[in-house]
Amino acid sequence: MTSQRPTRRLPRLSARQLFDVELGLFLLSELMPSASPVALPGLLSSTDSVWTPRQHKLRSRGLALLTHLSHFTHWCDLLETYMAVPVHLQAYDISRDYSSFRPKTVGFSRNRLSVLRKVLS
């Protein structure tokens, strides 16, 4: 009799969801570098910030692509799933308490960050 080990379901993000999370984190890092990763919905819905023309352009493009992430619970659910996917798939490290995040500096994630920069440029 062979025993079967229960298969553990790994958290899954579609390629689009992975892109959205990382684009949202990139946008936050450009416009509000010291903000918590959960601050994206506020950034997308805020209209009273004083920014440079370049920052306004980034926010406008980000808003056009990420409007669907302006709901706090949806964004937090995606962040939670993103944090649970295998580390080698992540371009950002997010602290367990959601207080901070930073881009990874090694591996292919650097290439993804340059793509995100071009998307919003």
Q: What is the pLDDT of residues 51-84, one digit of tens each?
A: 899 999 999 999 999 999 999 999 999 999 999 9
Q: Is 72 within the bounds of a domain? A: yes
Domain range enclosing 70: 15-120
CA neighbor of 109 nearest in space, from 78, 87, 76: 87
Burial class (CB in 10 A: 0-12, 13-18, 19+), 35: middle
pLDDT at 113: 80
Phi, psi of 86 (to 5 degrees): -55, 140
Total domains in the fold of the chain: 1
| Structural domain contains residue 8 | no
44-54 pLDDT tens trace? 998 777 889 99
Of 76 and 1, more confident: 76
Structure token pair of residue 109? 């994630």
Beta strands in the chain (DSSP E): 92-94, 101-103
The one-character DSSP state at 3 is P
